Chains A and B, each alone.
Chain A
Amino acid sequence: MKVILDRIRALLKPTRHLPFALLFGRFQKILSLNNQILERIGSMGDKLGGDYVFDRQYILSASQELAELVEALIDHLNVLAPGKYPDLRDVFRSIQGQIQGDLNGMGHVPLTDDVLPMAAITQDLSMAVGGKCATLAEIGTVLGLRIPEGFAVTTGAFRRFMAHNGLQEQLQEVAEALRLEAISEEQASQRLRQRIEAGQMPPNLEKAILKQRDALIAGPSGQGAVFAMRSSAIGEDGRHSFAGQFKSVLNLPGHALVAAYKAVLASTFAPSAIAYRRETGMDEEQVAMAVMCQRMVDATASGVLYSLDPRSSDRDTMMISATWGLGASVVAGHITADQFRVARATRHDRIREVIAEKKEGFYATAEAGMQRRPIPEPMQRIACLTPEQIQELTETALVIERYFKTPQDIEFAFDSQGRLTILQARSLSVYSRSNAATCDISEVLQESSVILSGQGMVAQKGICAGKVFRVDPDQDLERFPAGGILVTRFASPRFARVIRKAAGIVTDVGSPTGHMATIAREFRVPTIVDTGTATQLLTNGMEITVDADANKIYRGIVAELCYQELVEENIQDTEEYRLLRRVLKKISPLGLIDPSDKTFVPKACQTYHDITRFIHEKAVAELIDLNYYRHYDPGTIARRLKLQVPLDLILIDIGGGIAPGADHHEIGPDQIVSVPMRAFLDGLIGSGAWSLEPMSVDFRSFMSSLTRTAPSHLTTPQHVGRNLAVISAQYANISLRLGYHFNMIDFYACDNPNDNYAYFRFLGGVTDTARRSRRATFIARLLTNWDFSVNQQGDLVVARVKKLTLERMLEKIYFLGMLTAFTRQLDVKMVSDAHIDNYVAEFQRLPADGKMTEGLGGVTG
C-alpha cells in the first residue's frame, strides 16, 4: 500500500525540468559508480583466494568505502527518478546494518529462527549456533558421518530470553560494577545466574524447543529417548578457548529440557568464564550463548581420540582412550579406560594397547538418569573396541582431520547396533615442537626429490601425503583406499563418490574451474589438475607428497611438510577469513536477475550487488521512459531504431547524431550520421557476427527470444527497452542488455586524436561461475589482442583505448560492435573450456575486410 501511495505522490509532484544534459550527466555518473562498485566487490572476493594477506582493518575500510559508493548510487538514481524508489534506501540501510553487525564481531547475533535442526546448520551459521555445534553439524551434513540427532537453540534465542526477563539491563549494571571493581566475579556470577535460572521462557521459544523435541521422539526408536543439553558458545571453539567452562547437562528426560536450557544459559556467567573474559578483554554485554540439544546415543562403548598425541613428540600415531558405556567426558576420572596407540599411516597398525580392568560402566536410562552398572566378568579384561572398530574410527578421524586441516580431539560412541557416532570434534592445539636446529623445513624441502613442479594448475591448495592410487576410466571406485592420492588422466565429477576418502587428487587433464575442482574445494582436498604427465610419472602404490600450495609433487612422504601443514592454523579458518566471507554474503551474491519478473523490486534486494543491478536497470529504463515515451525535454528527441536483427534500441540524439528531418518516432540506420555510432552498428550488424550461430534452429530462436525486448504495443512503457544509445555527431554511450548480460560502451571519435577514446564494459550473470569466467576470459583475450588495455575481475571485463587517430578509432569501435554481437550468446553456450578456443577460432573466420581483422591474427595463443 505504502508503495502505491508513494508512486502516486511521485507522479503528482510537479516534474522538475532538468535539462537533458544534466540528466545524462547523472546517468553517466551512475554507470561509472556502477563500475567502481563491481570492481570493488570483485576485488574483495579475490582476497579470499588465499594469495593475499589482509587484516581486519582492510575488511572495515573496504566495506565502508563500498557502502559510500552504493549510497551515492542511490542518490543519483533519485535525481533521475525523484521519490520513485523510496524502499531502496531502507533496503540499503538494512544491509548496511547487517554488515556493521558482522564487523562489530562478538556481539552480532544473526537473524535466524530461535531453534534450528542440525541438518539445516552450516559453518556460516556459527555466529548463531556457536562453533562447536556448527562444526558437528558440518561433520554430519558435508562429510556424511553419523552425528547425534538434535537441534540448536540459537544466540538469537538467548538474546530474546534475556530481553524477555529484563536481564540485558541487569547485565549492563553488573558489567559496569565489575569494571569499577565494585563487586567480585563471584558476586557478579551469582546475581546473573540466579536471575537466569528463575527467568521465564518467552512462550514461542519454549514452544519451538518442545516441537523439535517431539520431532526427535517421533522418529524411529523414539521411545525412552534421553537428551543432552550442551553449551555451544560463540568463540568457544574459535579464537578463545573456553573449554570446559560452560555447563553441559546430560541424560535428560524430555520434560526436563527447558530447565536444563536455562541451566546451560546460566553457566554463561560462571565465575571462571567471567574471569576469562576479563583477562582477554571481551565485553560482558557482548556475550551470547547457543545451546545444542542432542538425543543421547545408547553407547556400548565410547571414548576420546586425539588424531595426534599432543603430549608426545611422536608424530606418527593417534591416541584413543575408550571404555564400556558412556564416553570418557562423562566419566572422566571415575573409571579407568583402555588406551590404544595406532599408526596414522594407512593400515593403521596398533602400536600399543593397555587394557584396563573395567569393573563398572555408566549408562543412560530414561527412568533413572545416569546409572553406574557393573560390567560382566568376561568383559572386564578385554578391549572395549574391536580391531575393526579401531580401524573404522581411525579412518573416520582422518576424514575429519583432512577436512578441518588441523589435528582433532574427537569424542565418539559406538551404539548398540555397532554404529560409530561422532559426538564432538574440535581442533587440538599442538604447538609446533620443531625448532630450527632439528627441523628446518626449507632444508628438508631442498633435499627432497621433486617429481613434478609448476606443471599443472592448483584447484585446491593444501598439502597431503600418501600412496598413489591410479584410477582409469570406467574403473570401479569401490576399491579406493582411505587416505589414498587419486591419480587419473581426466578430471571427472564421478570422483565425488570417493573424494571424502582421498587425501589428494592429481590429474593429467582438467580445469581448476571444472566440476571436480569445485567438489574438491568443497571438501578441501588438495588438488592439482592439468599436469599433463602425472599418470606417466606416478605409479600405483608409490608414496608421494603433494604440495598444492607450491604446486609441487615430491617423491616419498615429506613428513615435516605434512606436519607443518597440520599444526599451522588453516588460513581459511581464521577470524579474518570468516569475517570477510560473512560480510561478502551481504555484498556479492546476485539474486535479482530477471528485470521482467515481479520480484525485480527494491525490497527483494538482499545485497549491494542486487541494489547496484537494480539501479543500473532502472537508470537505463528511466532515461528511455522520460525521453521516448514522455517527451520529457522538447529539445531532445528519442527515436526507436529499426533494424533487421531483433534488437530494440532507443536512440537519443544530443546533437548532430541523426540526419535532419528524420522521423520523430522511428528511423533506419541510414539516417544515423554520428560517425562512431555508424562504425559500431556496422560491426554489430554488418560484420556478420550477429548471425554467427552454429547451433540448431531451435536454439537460435531461443537465443533471439532472449535478445529481444518485449514488443512495444504489448507492454507499458516502464517495461520496454533496456537498450539505449545516447549519441551526438562524435559521441555515443550505449547500454545494451543482451541475453542476461550487460554491455556498456562509451566512445568519442573526432579528428583530434587527443580527444578520442573508447570504453567497453561487459558484465555477465545467470550461468554458473565457471562458465561466466570462461566467457569473460574469452572476451578479455580478444580485447587484449586488439590492443585494448583490459582489466578482468571475475565476470566483469573493462577495456579502454584512447588517443588514436580517427581512422584507427573507428576500427576499434567497429570491432567492439562485432564483439558485442558475438558475445550476446556466449553465456549460454560456453559449457567447457574447450569452447574458448573454438570461439576464438570462429571469431577469426568472421567475414570482415582485411583491415578490420588485423588484430585477430594472434588470438589463438
Chain B
Amino acid sequence: MSGTSKTSVLILDDEPIVCKRLKPSLEKKGYEVEVFFKSHEADLRTTQRSFDIVITDLKMEGMDGMQFLTKVKQRNPQTEVIVITGFATMETASESFRQGVFDFLAKPFKLSEIEAAVKRAEAKLKSRPPSSEP
C-alpha cells in the first residue's frame, strides 16, 4: 500500500494497449494504478489487497471479466467496478448491472469518458460513510 490517501485503481485488460493508455493518464490525475493483462493474476492481487475502483474487460482467456468482477464484489462490496468491452450488447450490459457494476463503457472510448467514469465512481465512494470493516 502506498500509505497515501490516493484512490486506488486496478485495470484488467488482455490487450496491453488499453492498460498502457489508461495507466499514465489516470496517474496524471492523481490515482494509484495497478494494471494486469491476465485475469488470474488480477484475481490473485485482489486477494492480497482491496482496490477502490476496478476497471475490467469482459472477454478474456481463462477467467472472464464477469467471473472476475463477481469475485471482486464478493470480496469487497465497496469496490466500484467499471466494465469496458468491445462486445457491448444489451445482455452483457444488463448482466453487468445485475452484478452491481457502476458503469459500462463500450470500446473504443475516449480517455475523457473513462476519466469521467472513474471520477464519478470516486465521488460515490467518498459520499459513502466510512467502511466499518476492520
Chain A residues at the B interface, C-beta cutoff of 8 Å: 47, 51-58, 61, 436-437, 440-443, 445, 564, 568-569, 571, 574-576
Closest to B15 in A: A55
Looking at B61-69, B72-80, B110-118, B123-131, the stretch in contact with chain A turns out to be B110-118
Closest to A57 in B: B86
CA distance in complex: A55, B2 (Å): 30
Is B28 in contact with A445, judged by CB distance below 8 angstroms? yes
Closest to A567 in B: B24
> Which residues of B have CB within 8 Å of A437?
2
With A52-B108, A53-B110, A58-B86 already in contact, 6 other A-B pairs whose C-beta atoms are closer than 8 Å: A53-B107, A57-B15, A440-B30, A442-B28, A564-B28, A569-B20
In the complex, chain B residues 43-93 whose Cβ is within 8 Å of any chain A Cβ: 86
> Which residues of A have CB within 8 Å of B4?
436
CA distance in complex: A56, B107 (Å): 11
Task: Return A829 CB to nearest CB of chain B, in Å.
Answer: 34
- Pull 6 A–B residue pairs with CB atoms less than 8 Å apart, ordered by A: A53-B110, A54-B108, A58-B107, A442-B29, A564-B24, A574-B17
Closest to A443 in B: B30
Closest to A441 in B: B28
Is A55 in contact with B28, judged by CB distance below 8 angstroms? no
> Which residues of B have CB within 8 Å of A569?
20
Is B29 in contact with A576, judged by CB distance below 8 angstroms? no
Task: Return A52 CB to nearest CB of chain B, in Å.
Answer: 5
Residue of A47, A441, A575 with most partner-chain B CB within 10 A: A441
Residue of A55, A436, A443 with most partner-chain B CB within 10 A: A55
Is A47 in contact with B27, judged by CB distance below 8 angstroms? no
Given A53-B114, A442-B27, CB of A58 within 8 Å of CB of B108: yes
CA distance in complex: A431, B32 (Å): 18
Is B24 in contact with A53, judged by CB distance below 8 angstroms? no
CA distance in complex: A437, B6 (Å): 12
**Interface residues as binary, B1-27 with A (CB distance below 8 Å gives 1, 0 otherwise):** 010101000000101011011101001
Is B18 in contact with A55, judged by CB distance below 8 angstroms? yes
Closest to B112 in A: A51
CA distance in complex: A332, B28 (Å): 41
Is A52 in contact with B28, judged by CB distance below 8 angstroms? no
Is A574 in contact with B20, judged by CB distance below 8 angstroms? yes
Contact residue among B17, B27, B114 (Cβ-Cβ distance under 8 Å from A56): B17
Residue of B22, B107, B109 with most partner-chain A CB within 10 A: B107
> Which residues of B have CB within 8 Å of A56?
15, 17
Closest to A62 in B: B108
CA distance in complex: A47, B109 (Å): 9
Given A58-B108, A568-B24, CB of A53 within 8 Å of CB of B29: no
Task: Return A549 CB to nearest CB of chain B, in Å.
Answer: 9
CA distance in complex: A437, B109 (Å): 31
Residue of B18, B24, B29, B112 with most partner-chain A CB within 10 A: B24
CA distance in complex: A798, B34 (Å): 42
Given A52-B111, A53-B107, A441-B27, CB of A436 within 8 Å of CB of B32: yes
Task: Return A55 CB to nearest CB of chain B, in Å.
Answer: 4
Closest to A442 in B: B30
> Which residues of A have CB within 8 Å of B108?
47, 52-55, 58
